[in-house]
Structure 1
Amino acid sequence: MDPDRESRDSVEAEWDFQARAATRWDDRSRGSATTWVPPIMRALVDAARNSALGRFHPFTSHARLCFSTDGRHWPGEGDILPVCIALLPGGSYSVALKHDPAEVVLETTNADEAVAAAVAALQEYLRS
């Protein structure tokens, strides 16, 4: 068992980890000529953590913030929620339901709006 992984099993610890990682992400991308990724991840992590999404385990994948019902989001160890929020070039967010293909719900430059749309989209998905 990976000791770092073990220490991040609680939802609170996962959010703390994501907050630190988002700060490093933003610091590296700020002013960088070698990446398209804008320095907007920390604002997104903070907004999501303080929303209804804060009860889920956060993780990142390909410049997207995703959520799981368990800290180990591999098959059989937790369900990945069907919504994610991606960072886009130019400093905006794209909220999408993860269907095949993904259904974009909203594009915005505001982290709070992106999170609110993700929460609303998730509630609609869970009702169906």
Structure 2
Amino acid sequence: MGHFAEPDVIERLLSDTKVWAFVGLGANPAREVYNQARLLQGRGKRIIPVHPDGEEVLGEQAYASLADVPGEVDVVGVYRRSEFAGAVVDEAIAAGAKAVWLPLDVVDEAAGRRARDAGLDVVMDRCPAIEWAKRR
């Protein structure tokens, strides 16, 4: 599994990206995706909620799907269960995202390979907050 958790890729995504779309980010502050988006927003990233309800989240307009998001997306955070992650990764590829990040316990090796083969950076089974805290 470690091949989707290369330290240099993690560092590049945390330091060199500006726009993160969070698939599964709704207005519920009890959800982990909300906490991760808020953390990255607090670190200077623009976050884009992608959720079917379309509610504004953390002061940002939400979109029903990745295809609806205007402009470029650097990283797509895939905050869906593993069985749904592959479809989201495919949407990220189609939308022209530069990377996908699957959080802890979200694993889809085949989707990771598809994304990497399409030229995207891939991080899987890692938490942005934990990885941010490990930075020097």
TM-score by length of 1: 0.34
Greater Rg by CA: 1
- Give the number of the structure whose residues are more often strand, by fraction: 1
TM-score by length of 2: 0.33
